[in-house]
A and B are shown apart, each in its own frame.
Chain A
Amino acid sequence: MPDYKPISLVLILLGLFGSSISILLGFIWVPGIDPESVQQGSAESYRILFWHVSFAWCSFLAFLMLFVGSVLWYLKNDEFGWRLFSTGSDMGLLFGFGVITSGPIWGSVAWGKPWDWGDLRLNSFALLTAVAIFLVLSRKSQPDTTQTRDTLSIIGLFGFFLVPITAVATTLYNRRHPPIIIIEGEDTGLPDEWLMVLIFSFVSFGLMFIGISLLNDMVNQLESKTEKYQRIIDRGED
Chain B
Amino acid sequence: MDEPLLLELEGLVVSRENRSVLNDINFKLKEGEVVALVGPNGSGKTTFIESCTGIIPFTEGNLSYYSKLNEKTIIRNKDGRNSNIPQIGLTLQNDGICGEETVEEKLLTVLNMVDEGENSHLIDSILSDWGLYHRKSNRVSQLSGGLKRRLSVLSGLCPAIFSLHPIVVLLDEPSEGLDDEACNILTNWIRTIASRGNGIIFTSHDSDLIKCADRIIKLEENKPITESSGKSSGAIVTMVESELVARQVSINSLINWTIKMELRNPIDTINRLTPALVALFISFSLIGNINYETIDNQIISLLILLPAFITCIISPALISRFSEADCGKWWYINLGTKFRPISSFIGASLLLPLPLTYLSWIILIGDKSELYSNEVLTWLWLPALCMLDLAIASSALHFLVSDLQRSQASSASLLMIFLVWPFLELSEALSSIMVNGMSFSLELGSPLISCLFASLISSLVWLVAVFLPDT
Complex interface: chain A residues within 8 A of B457 (CB): 162, 165-166, 169
Complex interface: chain B residues within 8 A of A14 (CB): none
Is B286 interfacial (CB-CB < 8 Å)?
Answer: no
Q: How far is the CA of A148 from the CA of B406 in the complex (A)?
A: 9
Is A30 interfacial (CB-CB < 8 Å)?
Answer: no
Q: A134-B410, A151-B469, A162-B460 are in contact. Are A127 and B453 (CB under 8 A)?
A: no
Q: Which of B178-186, B263-271, B341-349, B414-422 is near enough to bind chain A?
A: B414-422
A143 to chain B, nearest CB (A): 5
Give which listed residue, B412, B417, B465, contacts A127 with CB less than 8 A: B417
Residues of B within 8 Å of A, CB-based: how many? Answer: 39
Q: Are B453 and A138 in contact (CB under 8 A)?
A: no
Is B400 interfacial (CB-CB < 8 Å)?
Answer: yes
Q: Are A154 and B414 in contact (CB under 8 A)?
A: no
A67 to chain B, nearest CB (A): 13
Q: How far is the CA of A147 from the CA of B453 in the complex (A)?
A: 33
Q: How far is the CA of A143 from the CA of B403 in the complex (A)?
A: 12
Complex interface: chain B residues within 8 A of A235 (CB): 221
Q: Are B424 and A134 in contact (CB under 8 A)?
A: no
Q: Which of B15-23, B276-284, B361-369, B384-392 is near enough to bind chain A?
A: B15-23
Complex interface: chain B residues within 8 A of A170 (CB): 421
A-B pair count, CB < 8 Å, reads 108
| Chain A: number of interface residues, binned into ranges | 35 or more
Q: Which of A46-54, A176-184, A197-205, A224-232 is near enough to bind chain B?
A: A224-232
Q: Are A166 and B405 in contact (CB under 8 A)?
A: no
Q: Are B421 and A130 in contact (CB under 8 A)?
A: no
Is B114 interfacial (CB-CB < 8 Å)?
Answer: no
Give a binary string over A154-191; 1 marks a CB under 8 Å from any B CB, 0 the rest: 11011001100110011011000000000000000000
Q: A161-B460, A169-B453 are in contact. Are A148 and B414 (CB under 8 A)?
A: no
Q: Are A137 and B411 in contact (CB under 8 A)?
A: yes
Complex interface: chain B residues within 8 A of A165 (CB): 456-457, 460
Q: How far is the CA of A172 from the CA of B443 in the complex (A)?
A: 11
Give a binary string over B438-471; 1 marks a CB under 8 Å from any A CB, 0 the rest: 0000001100000001001100110011001100
Q: How far is the CA of A74 from the CA of B56 in the complex (A)?
A: 15
Q: How far is the CA of A172 from the CA of B457 in the complex (A)?
A: 13
Is B57 interfacial (CB-CB < 8 Å)?
Answer: yes
Q: How far is the CA of A173 from the CA of B444 in the complex (A)?
A: 9
Complex interface: chain B residues within 8 A of A158 (CB): 415, 418, 461, 464-465
Q: Are B414 and A131 in contact (CB under 8 A)?
A: yes
Complex interface: chain A residues within 8 A of B15 (CB): 146
Q: How far is the CA of A162 from the CA of B456 in the complex (A)?
A: 11
B41 to chain A, nearest CB (A): 12
Q: Are A148 and B425 in contact (CB under 8 A)?
A: no
Give a binary string over B399-413; 1 marks a CB under 8 Å from any A CB, 0 the rest: 011011110011110
B352 to chain A, nearest CB (A): 25
A84 to chain B, nearest CB (A): 17
Give which listed residue, B403, B424, B445, B464, contacts A151 with CB less than 8 A: B403
B18 to chain A, nearest CB (A): 6
Q: How far is the CA of A170 from the CA of B418 in the complex (A)?
A: 12
Q: How far is the CA of A155 from the CA of B56 in the complex (A)?
A: 19
A32 to chain B, nearest CB (A): 32
Q: Are A138 and B428 in contact (CB under 8 A)?
A: no
B259 to chain A, nearest CB (A): 28
Give which listed residue, B17, B19, B59, B445, contacts A143 with CB less than 8 A: B17
Q: How far is the CA of A146 from the CA of B401 in the complex (A)?
A: 15
Q: How far is the CA of A162 from the CA of B461 in the complex (A)?
A: 7
Q: Are B404 and A142 in contact (CB under 8 A)?
A: yes
Complex interface: chain B residues within 8 A of A37 (CB): none
Q: A154-B469, A169-B421 are in contact. Are A130 and B428 (CB under 8 A)?
A: no
Q: Are B17 and A231 in contact (CB under 8 A)?
A: yes
Q: A145-B405, A148-B404 are in contact. Are A228 and B18 (CB under 8 A)?
A: yes
What are 25 A-B residue pairs whose CB atoms fall within 8 Å in the complex? A127-B417, A131-B415, A134-B411, A138-B404, A138-B410, A141-B406, A141-B409, A142-B404, A142-B405, A143-B406, A145-B16, A146-B59, A147-B56, A151-B469, A162-B457, A162-B461, A166-B421, A169-B421, A172-B444, A172-B453, A173-B421, A224-B18, A227-B18, A231-B17, A235-B221
Which chain A residues have a beta carbon within 8 Å of chain B's beta carbons? 74, 77, 117, 123, 126-127, 130-131, 133-134, 137-138, 141-148, 150-152, 154-155, 157-158, 161-162, 165-166, 169-170, 172-173, 224, 227-228, 231, 235
The 9 closest A-B pairs by CB, nearest first: A141-B409, A134-B414, A151-B403, A130-B417, A130-B414, A154-B468, A169-B453, A138-B410, A146-B57
With A138-B410, A145-B17, A162-B457 already in contact, 6 other A-B pairs whose C-beta atoms are closer than 8 Å: A126-B417, A145-B405, A146-B57, A146-B59, A165-B456, A169-B453
